[in-house]
Chains A and B, each alone.
Chain A
Amino acid sequence: MGYSLNPDQTAELLNRLAEDYRIYAPKRFPKQGRYSDTDIIRYDRIQTPDEIVWDQKSDYPAKEVISPIQQALFYFTEDEYRESKKAKKPVLLLARPCDITAQLVQEKIYAENGGFKDLYYDRVHNKVKFAVMDCGGGDDTCFCVSMGSNKPENYSLAFKFDENGLKAEVSDDCFADYFDGMPEDDFTPEFVEENELKVTIPDLSDRDVRLALKSHPMWKEFDKRCISCGSCTVACSTCTCFTTRDICYGDNPEVGERRRVTASCQVAGFDQMAGQREIRSTAGDRMRYKILHKFHDHKARFGDRHMCVGCGRCTHMCPEFISISATVNKMADAVDEIKASLADGGNHVE
């Protein structure tokens, strides 16, 4: 069922929904950007429709609502512990198609990897309903169509905001009552069919090609350009890596909490092991790891789709202007070169 709401009716709808849901959406934080007098847009709890930023991509991803940057997992006192309390009220998350598709990847890692379901993820995730927001085609860093994330399936509501209010489609009956008395309209969501930016992912099924790619000089570029800050992975819609920290209260080591904290494969020390050994000790190595993880390894392991959803937030947030799409295209060129060289008698590219 479709509806067309004016601004007052939109506010009324949110009021009704807020009785039963905590509503999260992209919200503007004025002057909190990396540079002076720039804003950031990130997901946060909203109360009124004018807080929702629907005409611009958020700087940080929707995943923060479900798996926040930091969270207390449990509290301990001597030999006892107690789980952190879970929020009772369900969440309605207004997110873009790429954000919603990204949740399939998050779910895969947190709930379906290695036969273990992450309790702290699961108990939040189970309480989330999605409203897909029309993105108007995104911006020049978006390549969701190339990554097949432009048409999500798992959503309860579809919203299209504009200056005149909201067009909505209810696809999950449990939301029907909230629209009682609202003007009906034959709205159905449309998803972006083509991005300005297109990415071709090279075929890496050949082990020899992968081995040659690993030592290809293309990665050395990032030793100089990448500052290993991790902005890309914090902004990534699909990255799930975290570390845990036990924090003791005051000077008493018997009392404290265990926290989950976002980690980044791009930050030096991420893969440091006992004896101080690091597997990927240069920025180029770390970039290669990330790119291959997003555009080969994940799919090779789970089979369904590449990890990257093409939301472009890593490109958008990189302070050094490293573009993930340009990097994938460079990798595609390197792979062509490697394949030609292998076909030409197997001379390994150095």
Chain B
Amino acid sequence: MNHDIDVKKMRINCFRQSKVPGEFMLQMRAPGGMVDAKYLSSIEHISKTWGDGNFHFGTRQTFDIPGIKYENIDAVNEYIENYITEVDEELCDVDMDKVAGEPQEWDVKSGYPTIGARNITACVGNYHCICGNMNTYELARKIEPIIFPSHYHIKINISGCPNDCNKAHMCDFGIIGTAKMEYHPERCIACGACVRNCEHGATRVLSLNEDTGRVEKDPCCCVGCGECVRACPAGAWTRSEKKLYKIIIGGRTGRQTPRAGKMFLNWASEDVVLNVLRNWQKFSAWVMDYKPEYLHGGHLIDRAGYKKFKEIILDGVELNPECLVAEDIFWHETEYRSNFNVKPLSMHHTAGPQGE
């Protein structure tokens, strides 16, 4: 076959190049990793009709269908119109006629318009899990219209509790569901179950005061996981009704400097999380001089420096009273190559508007 294919254009369309010339793998978004099971028959149809009959669970919870020949991509894009419309436009209220907030009409037969803002992943959260503190996929569906469609890259992982099964620590912008726990001493039987659970499964912030028969807490180090609530036989611990979140930024894998993310916000309200994300495009655009590159959020924070990131990302955001913000971030990277960072000045990356 004739191999004159613009693979970068295909990638933006969410078709990833295969090692087999002329073949591509479609990646279908599933925000929060949760969709109606009826779409599985659509996935099967695409795979059996245009793919190689196999299906892969994308590492970012996309439906991945490999083995699609280049010449069938138009047919596939036409077929997935329904899926994109129902999942992104209707379920998540995404405006498909905008890219990064700027008007750009979506050709409904052309498939996904951008790949930059990656699929938002999530654990199953409190929809099912006994540990979860929040409904993860509902939050994902609220975030989806803020970040998508856009050519600016961001990987968002949502974990329903600080156990972080979905690795909020390993992405650009990780969200961890927490709650402030409320103690009702009049219901406490001083059995110590919460103390043991916290010690065993969390940060050992509880202790039983034998003189008062009450449980005491070091609130500074509480991660807001809810293990005390789960352990209590008498309902003496309850989750605050208000859902709160930890935001972990700058985590990444990669060939140069993989690292776990660090905490940016603690005890942020949902409004704060959404408003911070509304500043993401602005921050990304500023760092890259308004020209989207294939570069992920953690690198953008590195280029701008954390303090500049903080300035732009918190611009106009009214923090809830409980919310704490990292004054600085102390990254801890794996340097695959020693002094990787030390190089001629001409090789240094730039950040911010570069003028003419």
Chain A complexes with chain B: yes
Residues of A within 8 A of B (CB): 29-32, 34-37, 40, 42, 59-60, 68-70, 229-231, 233-235, 245, 247-248, 259, 261-264, 267, 317, 319
Task: Please determine whether B211 and A32 come into contact, CB atoms closer than 8 angstroms.
Answer: no
Q: Contact check: which of B133, B190, B213, B235 meets A40 at CB < 8 Å?
A: B235
A69 near B189: Cβ-Cβ < 8 Å: yes
Which 8 residue pairs of A and B lie closest in terms of their CB atoms, listed nearest first? Answer: A36-B126, A231-B233, A32-B238, A230-B233, A245-B213, A234-B234, A262-B189, A234-B233
Chain B proximity of A190: nearest CB distance (Å): 32
Chain A min CB distance to B91 (Å): 20
A sample of 7 cross-chain residue pairs with beta-carbon separation below 8 angstroms, ordered by A number, consists of A32-B238, A69-B186, A70-B185, A229-B193, A247-B211, A263-B189, A264-B191
Given A37-B126, A264-B191: 11 more A-B contacts, CB < 8 Å: A31-B239, A36-B133, A36-B226, A69-B186, A70-B185, A70-B188, A231-B234, A233-B233, A247-B213, A263-B189, A317-B233
Give the residue of A37, A235, A247 whose beta carbon is less than 8 angstroms from that of B135: A37
- Closest Cβ–Cβ distance, residue B47 to chain A (whole Å): 36
Contacts of B135 in A (CB 8 A): 37
B230 touches A34 (CB 8 A): yes
Least CB distance from B182 to A in Å reads: 8
Contact B238 A36 (CB under 8 A): no
B187 to chain A, nearest CB (A): 5
Known contacts A36-B126, A60-B235; is-contact A264 B189 (Cβ 8 Å): yes
**In angstroms, how far is the closest chain B Cβ from the Cβ of A344?**
42
B229 interfacial by beta-carbon distance below 8 Å: yes
**Does B130 make an interface contact (CB < 8 A)?**
yes
- Residues of chain A within 8 A (CB-CB) of B133 are 36
Most interface-central of A68, A70, A264 (chain B CB within 10 A): A70
Chain B 170-204 interface 0/1 with A at a Cβ cutoff of 8 Å (1 = within): 00000001010000011111110100000000000
Check A30/B241 contact, CB under 8 A, given A36-B179, A263-B189: yes
- Is B235 within 8 A of A32, CB to CB? yes
* B202 CB to nearest A CB, Å: 15
- The one of A32, A235, A245 that contacts B190, using a Cβ cutoff of 8 Å: A245
B134 touches A36 (CB 8 A): yes
A349 to B234, CA, bound (A): 38
How far does the Cβ of A26 sit from chain B's closest Cβ, in whole Å?
14
Question: Is chain B's binding surface mostly helix, strand, loop or mixed?
Answer: loop
Residues of chain A contacted by B179 (CB below 8 angstroms): 36
| Given A230-B189, A234-B189: A262 in contact with B211 (beta carbons within 8 A) | no
Known: A32-B238, A36-B132, A40-B235. A70 touches B186 (CB 8 A): yes
Q: Which residues of B contact A262 (CB under 8 A)?
A: 189, 234
Q: Nearest Cβ distance between residue A304 and chain B, in whole angstroms?
A: 29
Q: Inside 8 A of A233's CB, which chain B residues have their CB?
A: 233
Q: List residues of chain B with CB within 8 A of the CB of A234.
A: 189, 233-234
Q: Name the B residues within 8 Å of A247 (CB-CB).
A: 211-213
**B212 and A230: CB pair below 8 A?**
no
B231 at the interface (CB under 8 A from A): yes
Q: A264–B238 Cα gap in the complex (Å)?
A: 21
Q: Please give the residue numbers on chain B whose beta carbons come within 8 Å of chain A beta carbons, in ascending order.
A: 126, 130, 132-135, 160, 177, 179, 185-191, 193, 211-213, 226, 229-236, 238-239, 241
Residues of chain A lying within 8 A (CB to CB) of residue B190: 245, 261
Chain A, residue nearest B185 (CB):
A70
Query: Chain A's nearest CB lies how many Å from the CB of B276?
Result: 23
> What is the distance, in angstroms, from B176's C-beta to the closest C-beta of chain A?
13
CB pair A35–B212 under 8 Å, yes or no, is: no
- Whether A319 and B188, one on each chain, are in contact in the complex, defined by CB atoms closer than 8 angstroms, is no
Q: Which residue of A lies closest to B212 (CB)?
A: A247
In the bound complex, do residue A69 and residue B239 qualify as a contact, i.e. CB atoms below 8 Å apart? Answer: no
CB distance from A17 to the nearest CB of B (A): 25
Q: Which chain B residues border A259 with CB–CB below 8 Å? A: 213
Q: Check A34/B229 contact, CB under 8 A, given A40-B235, A247-B211, A262-B234.
A: yes
A317 to B230, CA, bound (A): 11
- Residues of chain B lying within 8 A (CB to CB) of residue A32: 235, 238-239
Determine the chain B residues whose CB is within 8 A of the CB of A245 once the complex forms: 190, 213
- In the complex formed, the residue of A with least CB distance to B128 is A35
B233 with A35: CB separation less than 8 A:
no
Write the chain A residue with the least CB distance to B126: A36
Complex-state Cα separation, A319 to B212, whole angstroms: 28
- Alpha-carbon distance A31/B135, docked complex (angstroms): 13
* Neighbouring B residues of A319 by C-beta, 8 Å: 230
Distance from B281 Cβ to chain A, minimum over Cβ atoms (Å): 31
Q: Are B213 and A267 in contact (CB under 8 A)?
A: no
Contact present for B233 and A264 (CB under 8 Å): yes
A230 engages B235 (CB within 8 Å): no
Residues of A within 8 A of B232 (CB): 34
> Complex formed: what's the CA distance from A32 to B212 in Å?
24
Q: How far is the CA of A32 from the CA of B130 in the complex (A)?
A: 14
* A229-B231, A264-B233, A319-B230 known; A68+B186 contact, CB < 8 A: yes
In whole Å, how far is B254's beta carbon from the nearest beta carbon of chain A?
34
- Contact of B239 with A36 in the complex, beta carbons under 8 Å: yes
Q: Are B234's CB and A69's CB within 8 A? A: yes
Compute how far the CA of A22 lies from the CA of B276 in the bound complex, rounded to whole angstroms. 49
A36 nearest in chain B by CB position: B126
Q: How far is the CB of B13 from chain A (nearest CB, A)?
A: 38
Pick from A30, A34, A69, A235: contact of B187, CB under 8 Å: A69
Q: Contacts of B193 on A, CB cut-off 8 Å? A: 229-230, 267
